[in-house]
Amino acid sequence: MSPDSLFMSVNSIDSAASPPAIGSSAPIQVVAGRYQLERILGVGGMAIVFRAFDRLAAHFNHPSPYVALKIFKEEFAGFTDANYLLYSEYALLATLNHPNIVRSFQFDIDATTERAFLTLEFLKGMTLDQWLIENPLGTNLPKITPMLLEIIDAVDYSHQHNIVHGDLKPSNIMLTQNGCVLFDFGLGQMLSGDLSILPKISRKRFNAWTPKYAAPELLEDISLTTKTDIFALSCIIYELLTGQNPYYIDKKTKYTVKPTKPKDLSKKQWATLCCGLAIKPHDRLITAQELKNAFQPYKKRYFYWF
């Protein structure tokens, strides 16, 4: 069954109805005999993500038997390398263990539909692109700092494990009750280490990435590096503070970054952020760790002499 027909059947399900137990013959969509699709959580450039009721977990009385189930859209169904992307997302996430990075549970292929799927921790909240719609001017530094630090920390942790995300943007970050959570490592890569041998599939192959946050060198089809993530991360920080993307597409020069200093950034923070937004990768000399240090609230130290 195609995701579009899954879509139809899912739309017809009353998500408030209590799900049938294992063994029930209710005519609803169940993936791999286990995950009962309830509703669509989101649609990305390549995938549809459903909230799914995990019948096995429920059978064993798990208190929260829900997962997010990611499956490719119909138009990518014929691409066998799409399955590699989904597997790679699963494998990269399985090596990461951080409170601000989504957890992956299982990669499998449904025997009936022969479609690959991935299950993930179910995140409740709103993505940062939705947050930006509600906050079109961004927000001030003190208010946004905890969110910034969580996002930067997730990227820093991932870089320390030699993993680049490859598609950092507000719609790949969820603001939950427990803070910001980074997800969608579908275009991620391990730069060195055992998983670096996983197939690397060109972004252009699927034409499903967002140039708005892509480092300029990626337009030249240069491979991902931590610096490409730093560029995207700096764009996100700027946008959360101002509501605007720091650069616009100039048809003649391709990309021109013309950011102006957000009002409540210190000179040092601004210098650090500008370094992250540098067009030329060799000028982009900061790491995620350095960005984190720049946005760490200044702790006043008082020395008392007795």
Ligand X SMILES: Nc1ncnc2c1ncn2[C@@H]1O[C@H](COP(=O)(O)OP(=O)(O)O)[C@@H](O)[C@H]1O
Q: Which pair of tokens denotes residue 154? A: 């997730």
What residues form DSSP beta bridges with 53?
Answer: 36, 66
Residue 179 as a binder of ligand X (CB under 6 A): the answer is: no
120 binds, among ligand X, Mg ion, none (CB under 5 to 8 A by kind): ligand X
Of 32 and 48, which has the nearer Cβ to Mg ion?
48
3-class state of residue 267 by DSSP: helix
Amino acid in position 166: G
Residue 101 as a binder of ligand X (CB under 6 A): the answer is: no
Binders in 263-292 for ligand X, by CB under 6 A: none
Residue 6 as a binder of ligand X (CB under 6 A): the answer is: no
Does the annotation flag 280 for ligand binding?
no
Of 41 and 277, which has the nearer Cβ to ligand X?
41
| Residue tagged active-site, from 153, 167, 184, 229 | 167
Closest distance of CB 150 from ligand X, Å:
16
Provide the total of helices (H) and of strands (E) in the chain, helices listed first: 9, 13
The whole-angstrom separation of Cα 284 and Cα 246 is 15
286 binds, among Mg ion, ligand X, none (CB under 5 to 8 A by kind): none
Binders in 33-52 for ligand X, by CB under 6 A: 41-47, 49
Strands ordered across the beta sheet of 66-72: 30-31, 35-43, 47-54, 66-72, 116-121, 104-109
Residue 156 as a binder of ligand X (CB under 6 A): the answer is: no
Please classify residue 16 by burial: count the beta carbons closer than 10 Å to its beta carbon, then call 0-12 exposed, 13-18 middle and 19+ buried. Answer: exposed
Residue 73 CA to chain centroid, in angstroms? 17
Residue 186 as a binder of ligand X (CB under 6 A): the answer is: yes
Amino acid in position 180: C
Determine contact, residues 208/201, Cβ cutoff 8 Å.
no
213: Cβ–Cβ under 8 A, 6 or more apart, which residues? 167, 168, 169, 231, 232, 235, 236, 245
Residue 127 as a binder of ligand X (CB under 6 A): the answer is: yes
Residue 68 as a binder of ligand X (CB under 6 A): the answer is: yes
Of 17 and 43, which has the nearer Cβ to ligand X?
43
The verdict on whether 250 is a catalytic residue reads no
Residue 120 as a binder of ligand X (CB under 6 A): the answer is: yes
Binding site for Mg ion (CB under 5 A): 44, 172, 184
Residue 10 as a binder of ligand X (CB under 6 A): the answer is: no
- Of 253, 211, 208, nearest to 228 by C-alpha is 211
Of 68 and 294, which has the nearer Cβ to ligand X?
68
CB atoms within 10 A of CB 53: 22
User: Which residues contact ligand X (rule: CB under 6 A)?
Assistant: 41-47, 49, 68, 70, 102, 120-123, 127, 171-172, 183-184, 186
Give the annotated binding-site residues for ATP: 70
**Active site (catalytic) residues:** 167
